[in-house]
Amino acid sequence: MPEDPCLFRPDGSVWLATIAHEHDAWLELSGDEEAALVSAVPGLMLVDDALGRGAPVLVKKRREQTQRIVTVLQRRAPALAAQVILVQDVSELPRSVRVEVVNVLINEFCEYGLQPDYEPNEHGLEVETLIDACELARKV
């Protein structure tokens, strides 16, 4: 079981959804595995499209993160902001564009995101979250 489950009630509403470490995850089960899991967990319903059916909170969060990235880019790299503003989720962009975005965010972090002792300040923590949203560590 992943550490980021999204479980639903029989009516399709979200029963439990967690997003640990800002990563999306899902399980691919065989038919036998699905049957065993559903019979072992009363009320569990497996869906093919968890993101579309039951995780609008994640979609909203991704959209908000992308909008915050655009705000930084409009100040630091307007041409790049024009590309990012076209998507709702920055992670949908080609890797090469996401690398450019992360480079700009790293500059933002270094310039405005550190305290005198080089620990992240509040803005730095926010920028770290935006860097994570770019999902450069994602396996393709």
- 17 forms beta bridges with 6
Name the stretches of the chain with pLDDT < 70. Answer: 1-29, 42-57, 138-140
Minimal CA–CA distance to 51: which of 16, 26, 20? 26
Torsion, Cα 72 92 62 58, to 10 degrees, reads: -170
Residue for token digits 């024009």?
Answer: 82
pLDDT digits (tens, 9 = 90+) for 67-82: 999 999 999 999 999 9
Residue type, 84: V
Q: What does DSSP assign to residue 21?
A: G
Whether 15 and 8 have beta carbons less than 8 Å apart is answered as yes
Q: What is the pTM of this model?
A: 0.62
